[in-house]
Amino acid sequence: MVVEIIAVSVGALMVAAGLIGCVLPVLPGPLIALASLFALSLGGGWAVFAPVTLVIWSVAALGSLAIDAVLPARAAGRAGANRGGVWGSVAGMVVGALVFPPLGVFVGAFGGALLGEIVFHRDNREPLKAALAVFRGTIGGIVLKLAVSGAIAVVFLRGAVRLLG
């Protein structure tokens, strides 16, 4: 029973870190949340979840990270933004998270994208439009990662109840 309690405790910390990592750009939130399922499975002798469950959530976690990596750039490209706006958005999220958590992530993403567009793409006549597109793409990625990590959290809770119950 001690192993199961440790697995649930470690997994719960991973779920919490995974949810936080969905908002912070430096942590791969869905992968950290996914690790909770593997920790729970390991603690339960690999009998907690069917292998197909682990495969499905692994694909979902990796897919959400891939989409998150592409979405801001695609949105930026459609609005005429360049890499300066995308990188500015990422830098702004990091700075915003450090200065004014958790809302600073969102404010920083927009401010960084706008600043990146103004500084590195001076011929862009609509930097605000480009910055808003980058911001929308960034927020879309965050929402997707939160949805996947939240669903993983629910699966984890159900597995934890099964393991301890």
Tens digit of each residue's pLDDT (9 = 90 or more) over 25-36? 778 999 999 999
Tens digit of each residue's pLDDT (9 = 90 or more) over 139-161? 899 999 999 999 999 999 999 99
Which has the higher per-residue pLDDT, 41 or 132? 41
Q: Single out the residue of 32, 30, 58, 42 nearest to residue 4, CA to CA.
A: 42
CA distances from 57 to 34, 52, 133 (A): 7, 9, 29
What's the pTM value of the predicted model, to 2 decimals? 0.83
Separation CA 100–CA 94 (nearest Å): 10
> Reduced to 3 states, what is the DSSP secondary structure of residue 81?
coil
Query: Euclidean distance between the first and final Cα of the chain, in Å?
Result: 11
Domain residue ranges in the chain: 2-164
Q: Going by C-beta distance under 8 Å and a sequence separation of 6 or more, which residues neighbour residue 87?
A: 116
Please report where in the chains the tokens 């499905």 appear, as a residue. 56
Cβ atoms within 10 Å, residue 102: 11
Which has the higher per-residue pLDDT, 104 or 54? 54
Tens digit of each residue's pLDDT (9 = 90 or more) over 89-143? 888 888 887 888 777 877 888 888 888 888 887 777 778 887 888 788 888 999 9
Q: Which amino acid is at 16?
A: A
